Structure 1
Amino acid sequence: MRLGGFPIFLIVIFGLGAAMFVPALEAALTRDWRASRLFIYAGLFVMLSGAALGMAARKGQIGVHARAELLTLLGVFAAAPAFAAAPIYLVVPEIGWFGAYFEAVSCMTTTGASVLISAEWTPPSLHLWRAMLGWFGGFATLVAAVAILAPRELLDLPGGATVGASGRILALGQGGRRTLRAARQLFPVYGGLTAAAAAALAAAGTPSFAALCHAMSLVSTSGISPLTGGLAGQGNRAAEAVAVVVLVLAASRLTYGRRGPSAGPEAARDWKGARHDPEIQLMAIAVGLSTLWLFLHGIWVEGGFGAATREPVFALRALWGGFVTSVGVLSTSGFLSSDWSAAASWTQVEAPAMMLMGLATLGGGVATTAGGVKLFRAYALYRHGIGELVRLPHPSRMDLARTQGGRLSRRAIVNAWVYVMLYMVALALALLALTLSGMTFDAAMAAAVASLSNTGPLFPLATGFTYAGASETARAIMIVAMVLGRIEVLAAVALCNPAYWRR
């Protein structure tokens, strides 16, 4: 896939090299001359490499095929991190090149899994670079959903809706032109939401540097943080409240709605009807059930509401911690609340791993930066199941399931079934491979779900282990799962099916 005759993949490489000068400037301002120098060296090398390869591969505009678009998407998330890993390896050589590549893939796929031992001993410039990679990966995910997956019928939206201003993105242009048009339409709302989140976090008392990194991580749902303990490291409930709002916006299709940010009042009308949106409804149900389960389980263990009466403040902390953490895991960012320890202590469950893995697998909305199966697919399967049950006593009944965007199409239901089946197969294969690499079953299950759903913090949360302690074989398997979860399983299957991209 090309833009102006240059392969988009090499344009991305050149852009990554140019972006390395931002953390270089940050390091210079904080007088970390070593990190600044290394980022400059890496940026120059990556830019020269991208420019040289781009000039060598430059051709005139040619026909665009599905294979070229899907290969470009795969290259952005699997090959581009090899270049993005250069400054990580130079600044922290002790993790090795493979560790740096793992870190870059994790960031660009918005997984947020890290092999860095301590955030305190990592230079701030490297934290900024990781957050920038996650932010770029989230934006690339949105653009790919609109310009590549949806036109190729690999992604279904509620009621056949489209993302982007007036829905023109899917109709006009091919290949690089369509990608550029999608980027232009989506960037204002993506960048605007990031700026608003940073300002809100700073106003809530978060230090400016952490506010910027957290804003990029929240909008991209990458879960990357410069603080030990992440968002919970602040102990700031006002910042957590801001994070919850931003995560809901980031995990909902309505934020990048079919009318786009330039539509103004029309986009606002989308959110006025949010209570009827199936993704918002399912998100609220999932978060509500998980929060109540955590809270009521503690009451049941205590044998009544006596504990809540004796310790009302602790009970409220447990309720808040369960709510914020549920939103964080469901959005696949993996951000925790500072009161999560209170929630776990209240529940008297060391780590409700199965519940957290279920939330991560459910994931956020379609055509968003969130990972997982996606809420709309779960809703489509639910409505299809209800329709089949109702049709048993009434065989001639027609199911008129509708969403905010219109009638739930049969194709959307079929695609949801196919995707969920492929997702479960991929999960089983990842689990088997991780088990064979030497992991215990519990750790392998958590690692497989965390990688495939792009919820990196889930693995240490559910098991107590770290990615640095995993073998290189296990981390290689996780890399494959992270990329597969980011580009969507259907796209990977289509890429391997010649009959699809020959059409």
Structure 2
Amino acid sequence: MGDRAHPKQPFWASVLQLPLFLLLLGVFSSAMLVPAVYGGMVRDLDAARAFLYAGLLGVVVFALIGLAHAGRDPGHGTLGPLMSLFSAFTVLPAILAVPFYEGLGTTTFLNAYVEMVSAITTTGATLFDDPARLNGTLHLWRSIVGWLGGLLMWIAASAILAPLNLGGFEVTARAEPGRSSSRDIGMSGAEVRMRILKVSSVLIPIYTGLTLLLWVLLAVGGDVGLVALCHAMAILATSGISPVGGLSAAGSGIAGEAVMLLFMLFALSRLTFSTDTTTAESGGLWQDPEFRIGALVVLAVPVFLFLRHFLGAYDVEAERDLLSAGRALWGSAFTVLSFLTTTGFASANWVDAQAWSGLETPGLLLMGLALIGGGVATTAGGVKLLRVFALYRNGVREMERLVHPSSVSSAGPRGRRLQKDGAFIAWIFFMLFALSLALITILLALTGLPFDTSLVLAVSGLSTTGPLLEVAKEVPISLTELNTGAKAIFTAAMVLGRLETLAIIALFTPDLWRG
């Protein structure tokens, strides 16, 4: 009788009561209808039919399970969304791979699954070296999956990872990683759903609006509509997915790259688009440590490369060609920011920088930038700039104590936090990241791959920077040629790099399973 006294909930309120993974299934199944419509418009009927059937089947399954689950409490508090986030990168790609596999018809399901894991984790590594092998419908689906994966991380960072002090928030939080700052270990199911709803209502319009704006600007700049849309989604999601194999085949030229560079700044700091997390307590964008470190790297590294190229060009008197020098400087600046944000787009002038100087820029530099990564709670991967800042501040403080052992830090509450537990936890994460890198490299080498190839694959997967496979070595690495074991290890590396080690360790926290 007590239940009948409650007013009937609206339809959307009932939908939001469903588990997060089921909601993700409904969203991605509905998204399959977009390439289905596009395939019908361009008369790619086989691929369109595959996406239409898979999308409708997914929506029907979502509706049936939703009806069966109606009125039940998802439970598990914070554990449910965290497990759903892990399942989104491991189980959901198997569903997303079905229409891709059926639409292509000339690949194995394992390759389709790895391709979808690469897309949803915003890694952007592809098993199809020749873009012409995939039609526009399949390229659009890869881009949509990567774009939705980036949006998922935008929302999950504030709604799921921040309350548990994971994903970089452990550097500034007062609690231990995997634990809430309050006395309670996490949040109730209702609190989690309300937080996800609130964050989604704010970030989805921003994310969508920025993507549409960049799409229009690239289309005006000369890109074909599909290419402009895929590149716009790739920039916002930092996936580096391109239907034409990179920016060298794009039609927008330097103007398009300049617009992309501005939008890649959103991956340097969450403060560029939101103030909903503890990383945004720095008093403005220009005072934000992540943005300042990122800007410093983007300015310093291209100047270093430019001077290195300039010295190399001195012997051949090519330094008098100012136009080539300008292209070389621009190509370095764009590529450095692209790999720092783990997007992985190489400028069309990146080759000009090497040709102008007669030197080859080592891929080790790009690997280092990808390992540093972008901002906390953004779509970028890597170690993250905030952790680098914490270690830097702690190092400066230790050097001050060597000179003045009795000195007291005057960096303020935030600085003192970063110099103590924040730096300690950042160092722990760095060690876990290094151990993961070493382990994955060894496992890949055990499958028969050369050591340098194994190292590039490990860095690419853990930093979610798939385009490293094409530029880190003199000869691009082909994922298609890898054996099944190597593909499985690389897939695990991508999931580990996207969700991070601390979040996976938090899944084994006993307190999260209680109740």
> So what's the TM-score if we normalise by structure 1?
0.89
Q: Per-residue CA shift, 1:429-480, capped at 9, x if unaligned?
A: 1111111111111111111111100000011211222222222221111111
Structure 1 contact 65–501 (Cα < 8 Å) conserved: no
Structure 2: gaps (5+ residues): 1-13, 175-185
Higher-Rg structure is 2
The alignment partner of 1:468 has SS state of: helix
Specify the alignment match of 2:180 in structure 1.
none
Structure 2 contact 264–337 (Cα < 8 Å) conserved: yes
For residue 480 of structure 1, the aligned residue among 482, 489, 492 is: 492
Q: Does 1:375 align with 2:388?
A: no
Structure 1: gaps (5+ residues): 162-169, 261-266
Specify the alignment match of 1:95 in structure 2.
107
Specify the alignment match of 2:376 in structure 1.
366
Q: Does 1:197 align with 2:208?
A: no
Letter in 2 for 1:425: L
Q: Does 1:10 align with 2:27?
A: no
The alignment partner of 1:183 has SS state of: helix
Distance in 2 (alpha carbons) for counterparts of 1:211 and 1:71: 35
Q: Does 1:32 align with 2:12?
A: no
The alignment partner of 1:72 has SS state of: helix
Letter in 2 for 1:470: L
Structure 2 contact 390–419 (Cα < 8 Å) conserved: no
For residue 288 of structure 2, the aligned residue among 255, 277, 289 is: 277
Q: Per-residue CA shift, 1:382-440, capped at 9, x if unaligned?
A: 00111111112323323343699996474432321221111111111111111111111
Distance in 1 (alpha carbons) for counterparts of 2:417 and 2:285: 16
Displacement of 1:9: 0.4
Structure 2 contact 123–461 (Cα < 8 Å) conserved: yes
For residue 130 of structure 1, the aligned residue among 123, 127, 142 is: 142
Specify the alignment match of 2:4 in structure 1.
none
Displacement of 1:55: 4.3
Please give the residue correspondences for 1:68-467 in structure 2 after superposition, counting only pairs within 5 Å: 68-157=80-169, 174-230=191-247, 233-234=250-251, 236-258=253-275, 273-303=284-314, 306-309=317-320, 311-401=321-411, 408=418, 410-463=420-473, 464-467=476-479
Q: Does 1:47 align with 2:64?
A: no
Distance in 1 (alpha carbons) for counterparts of 2:288 and 2:272: 12
Distance in 2 (alpha carbons) for counterparts of 1:347 and 1:66: 54
Question: Taking structure 1 as reference, are residues 347 and 407 closer, same or farther at Cα in structure 2, changes over 3 Å only?
Answer: farther
Comparing 66-75 with 238-247, which one deviates more in the overlay? 66-75
Distance in 2 (alpha carbons) for counterparts of 1:142 and 1:72: 15
The alignment partner of 1:392 has SS state of: helix
The alignment partner of 2:222 has SS state of: coil
Structure 2 contact 222–251 (Cα < 8 Å) conserved: no
Structure 1 contact 160–406 (Cα < 8 Å) conserved: no
Q: Per-residue CA shift, 1:154-207, capped at 9, x if unaligned?
A: 14458669xxxxxxxx99952222222221121121112112211221222222
Displacement of 1:64: 3.3
Letter in 2 for 1:288: L
Displacement of 1:21: 0.7
The alignment partner of 2:43 has SS state of: coil
> So what's the TM-score if we normalise by structure 2?
0.87
Comparing 366-375 with 115-124, which one deviates more in the overlay? 115-124
Distance in 2 (alpha carbons) for counterparts of 1:46 and 1:231: 37
Distance in 1 (alpha carbons) for counterparts of 2:187 and 2:76: 15
Displacement of 1:59: 5.6
- Count of aligned positions: 485
Structure 1 contact 95–115 (Cα < 8 Å) conserved: no
What is the aligned-residue RMSD (CA, Å)? 2.7
Question: Taking structure 1 as reference, are residues 257 and 71 closer, same or farther at Cα in structure 2, changes over 3 Å only?
Answer: same
Letter in 2 for 1:442: D
Distance in 2 (alpha carbons) for counterparts of 1:391 and 1:459: 43
Displacement of 1:69: 2.6
